[in-house]
Chain A
Amino acid sequence: RKEVEQDPGPFNVPEGATVAFNCTYSNSASQSFFWYRQDCRKEPKLLMSVYSSGNEDGRFTAQLNRASQYISLLIRDSKLSDSATYLCVVHMEYGNKLVFGAGTILRVKS
């Protein structure tokens, strides 16, 4: 079983739509959680951290369920510029390293 699993998509949505991505992780000892965004042939960039209480940054909302080992990202009012691959990332305290999911592809169309 992969340490971090995501639905690869692609998710094809119209502009203005709301879309949600899910992610599960296998190591219950994982400490910190993130969503990264990666544009085609570019490096990943941190989108937002994920907290148990849930957190929001503009149109983006992230949720963490430690009991179910489940992370989500909700994007409201999708823009064309949101088209990218979204990577679910878990920080492993042992070794101080990040473990990446394979990513979910989002395509927003006009």
Chain B
Amino acid sequence: DGGITQSPKYLFRKEGQNVTLSCEQNLNHDAMYWYRQDPGQGLRLIYYSQIVNDFQKGDIAEGYSVSREKKESFPLTVTSAQKNPTAFYLCASGSGGDGYGYTFGSGTRLTVV
């Protein structure tokens, strides 16, 4: 079945550590996105990529980094510079230029311990 897979489902990070969240899709979508969701808030865009080897900052990119070396993969690194990383992270992919066909992964819940 085609879909988008995020791992791990739960992740715990110590202060000062970098952690990487995985996002893989087999939908042949060109565009991929990372969103962050905090309680009581909508999804906020961190980074997005329209094509392999290219990506753009979203609204809250500070403290995060990404790469897009393969069409199927768009990993997100939460660096130690991100001061409040505890949140629900959602990866999505899309095919159309008009917003249709967005599919979300099941998310990674990151907690700082």
Q: Which of B14-22, B36-44, B60-68, B69-77 contacts A (4 or more CB under 8 A)?
A: B36-44
A43-B106, A44-B90, A44-B104 known; A96-B42 Cβ under 8 A: no
| Contact size range, A | 20 to 34
Q: CA–CA, A98 to B92, complex, Å?
A: 10
- Give the size of the chain B interface in residues (CB under 8 angstroms): 27
Total cross-chain contacts (CB, 8 A):
56
Q: A8-B40, A31-B99 are in contact. List 9 more A-B contacts (CB 8 A).
A: A32-B100, A41-B109, A42-B106, A91-B98, A96-B97, A97-B33, A97-B45, A101-B42, A103-B42
Query: B residues near A, CB below 8 A?
Result: 31, 33, 35, 40-45, 48, 50, 56, 58, 88, 90, 92, 94, 97-100, 102, 104-107, 109
Query: A residues near B, CB below 8 A?
Result: 4, 8, 31-32, 34, 41-46, 49, 87, 89, 91, 93, 95-103
